[in-house]
């Protein structure tokens, strides 16, 4: 699996750096465009991500799509909730699925944008002071703000963004023996996506 991730990332980078720019594409609005994005932070955190985005025909500002992702949550995110801070918790988004909608103020995948995400996530939790693990599912609704950069003269783009959202448990358990992993209703997240438009 690790080798497959390396091959995929290398192939995407090689393709995007060698692909020629299509200036006509930036001014043509009469076709639907597809973009593929990844979140490199998920790969660093022993996970993965794949996001598909569609710019509808004749739409200069709207981008919609879906994504799937998984990652080990860094300690800084676990400790962000004071009730979990420094209590030896390990947490992983075992699987996440989300729908996305974005409005780009200049044009799609250029400069400032706002977005919304609604999804379902399965968490796996363990604690260094106990044995075993538990799983629970939650729902996530998040608004976010970002900025798109185009560092090369082609369709590759980089989208850093940050958001604040609401989360609520749907099923499963967040308790291990006598310990409870607190699920705060308010969550924050910041990352960046790397994408390419076809």
Q: Is the pLDDT of residue 20 over 70?
A: no
Query: Which residues contact residue 94 at a Cβ distance below 8 angstroms, ignoring those fewer than 6 apart?
Result: 70, 122, 123, 124, 135
pLDDT interval class at 46 (50, 70, 90): very high
Number of Cβ within 10 Å of residue 22's Cβ equals: 12
Q: What does the pLDDT read at residue 80?
A: 87
Convert the pLDDT of each residue in 84-102 to its tens digit: 999 999 999 999 999 999 9
**Mean pLDDT throughout 69-94?**
92
Q: Is the pLDDT of residue 19 over 60?
A: no
Q: Any idea which architecture 2-197 has in CATH? A: Beta Barrel (2.40)
How is residue 84 written in tokens? 């979990």
Q: Is the pLDDT of residue 9 over 60?
A: no
Q: Is the pLDDT of residue 3 over 50?
A: no
Half-sphere exposure (CA, 13 Å, Cβ side) for 113? 25
Domain boundaries, the chain: 2-197
pLDDT interval class at 4 (50, 70, 90): very low
Q: Is the pLDDT of residue 11 over 90?
A: no
Q: pLDDT > 70: what percent of the chain?
A: 85
Query: Which residues contact residue 85 at a Cβ distance below 8 angstroms, ignoring those fewer than 6 apart?
Result: 78, 79
């Amino acid at each position: 699996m690790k080798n497959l991730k390396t091959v995929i990332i290398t192939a995407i980078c090689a393709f995007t750096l060698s692909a020629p720019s299509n200036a006509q594409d930036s001014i043509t609005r009469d076709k639907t465009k597809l973009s593929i994005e990844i979140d490199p932070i998920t790969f660093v955190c022993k996970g993965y991500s794949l996001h598909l985005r569609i710019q509808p025909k004749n739409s200069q500002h709207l981008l919609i799509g879906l994504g799937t992702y998984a990652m080990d949550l860094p300690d800084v995110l676990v400790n962000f909730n004071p009730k979990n801070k420094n209590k030896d918790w390990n947490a992983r988004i075992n699987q996440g699925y989300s729908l996305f909608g974005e409005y780009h103020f200049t044009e799609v995948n250029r400069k400032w944008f706002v977005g919304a995400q609604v999804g379902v996530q399965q968490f796996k939790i363990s604690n260094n002071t106990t044995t075993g693990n538990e799983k629970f599912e939650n729902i996530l609704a998040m608004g976010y703000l970002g900025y798109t950069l185009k560092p090369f003269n082609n369709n590759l783009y980089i989208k850093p963004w940050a958001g604040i959202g609401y989360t609520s448990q749907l099923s499963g358990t967040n308790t291990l023996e006598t310990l409870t992993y607190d699920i705060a209703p308010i969550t924050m997240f910041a990352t960046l996506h790397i994408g390419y438009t076809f």
